[in-house]
Structure 1
Amino acid sequence: MQQNLPDGVKISDLIKHVDPRGYFIEVFKQKWIEELPLIQWNVVRSKKNALRGMRVHIKHYDYVIIFEGKAVYALRDLRQGSPTQGLVSMVHIEGKHPQSVIIPPGVAHGFYFFKPSFYVYGVTEYYDKEDELGFYFADPDAGIKWPTSDPIVTERDVNLPPLKSIMSQIPTWHASST
């Protein structure tokens, strides 16, 4: 069942080949998304009840795959002029049903983990603190209904500004080819 997603967000099922030794998954082929050269990969392990976010990038795309665990990925389209501007989506993903999720610039995103989880993500730009904006995950103006009221969060995430304070920095929407 495909849900209503912000424009340019893509979710693709990945095939898990299981045998007596374990499993094999093709997680990425450049030809799947030739227009998005992924140049840096990162690995993240999160504890049960951890919340990461909210983040939004001005320049780069994220390509995310969860391998172990279960999470909900909160998405909100912040791009002025986007056909899905303001749309909030809660995407449930888990390692036993592997999927890739592509997040374009201007779409805010954050994770809540229901159990210990392990994921990787690739990006189309090298890390640049100027490209990473964030807002307070529990900001009522964001319209995100998290499945917990007491998550494990970092001091950094708790101290992020309200959504309205970063809106002037969000890129204008451009039709996506992804």
Structure 2
Amino acid sequence: MIDGVKKKTLLKHHDDRGYFTELVRDDEDLLAQFGQMSLSMSYPGVIKAFHYHDKQDDVWFFPSGNAQVVLYDIRRTSSTYKQTDVYYMGENNPIVLLIPKGVAHGYRVLGEKPATIIYLTTHSYDKDNPDEKRIAWNDQRIAFNWQTEHH
């Protein structure tokens, strides 16, 4: 696992009305501080990758649909520099993932329905000075194969 990344497996409390689960709590050492919570929906097959932040950490959760999440450590001083991690998140694997600043991240929507992501950040978005750097989804330094392997 890339240094600083944290994964939380969710516990669902079921009854005859449905279920309840806690996503992020202030007493569990995921976010150092709270800045913003956002929601985004992407259509099947869409790839949103890569970007990273210098100041903010992200917490990602996919409440509907499924996604292949790819992280790439670009922090030169990290023990996991240039390491790639892949997580499968969404309805079929309900986890919360902390992505620390300096780790490039992106995702591909899997399956035949849209995926929705809820994400929390340690800082609010500043349109005049955005903390968001882009790397192409097919950048050769990362060289990630986004194709589904059919075995």
TM over 0.5, yes or no? yes
Please tell me whether the aligned partners of residues 88 and 143 of structure 1 are also in contact (alpha carbons under 8 angstroms): no
Please tell me whether the aligned partners of residues 75 and 110 of structure 1 are also in contact (alpha carbons under 8 angstroms): yes
Q: 1:78 aligns with which of 68, 74, 81?
A: 74
Superposed displacement of residue 45, structure 1: 1.2
Single out whichever of 105-114 and 23-32 deviates more from structure 2.
23-32
Residue type of the partner of 1:93?
M
Higher-helix-fraction structure = 1
Aligned length: 144
Q: Match of 2:124?
A: 126
Whole-Å separation in 2 of the counterparts to 1:118 and 1:33: 24
Superposed displacement of residue 35, structure 1: 5.8
Per-residue CA deviations over 1:56-102 (Å, capped at 9, x if unaligned) read: 00000001111111111110000012100000111111224311100
Whole-Å separation in 2 of the counterparts to 1:133 and 1:35: 21
Whole-Å separation in 2 of the counterparts to 1:132 and 1:139: 17
1:91 is the counterpart of 2:87: yes
Q: Match of 1:135?
A: 135
Whole-Å separation in 2 of the counterparts to 1:34 and 1:87: 21
Task: Map 1:143-158 onto structure 2 (within 5 A).
Answer: 143-147=143-147
Runs of 4+ in 1 over 3 A off after TM superposition: none
| 1:12 counterpart SS class | strand
Superposed displacement of residue 135, structure 1: 0.8
TM-score, normalised via structure 1 length: 0.76
> Structure 2: 5+ residue runs without aligned partners?
none
Share of identical aligned residues, percent?
30
Whole-Å separation in 2 of the counterparts to 1:35 and 1:130: 19
Per-residue CA deviations over 1:29-68 (Å, capped at 9, x if unaligned) read: 1111276112200011111101112010000000111111
Higher-strand-fraction structure = 2
Superposed displacement of residue 113, structure 1: 0.5
Q: Match of 1:57?
A: 53
Q: 2:29 aligns with which of 10, 30, 33?
A: 33
TM-score, normalised via structure 2 length: 0.89
Please tell me whether the aligned partners of residues 68 and 96 of structure 1 are also in contact (alpha carbons under 8 angstroms): no
Question: Given the superposition, is the C-alpha separation of residues 35 and 64 from structure 1 closer, same or farther in structure 2, using an over 3 Å criterion?
Answer: closer
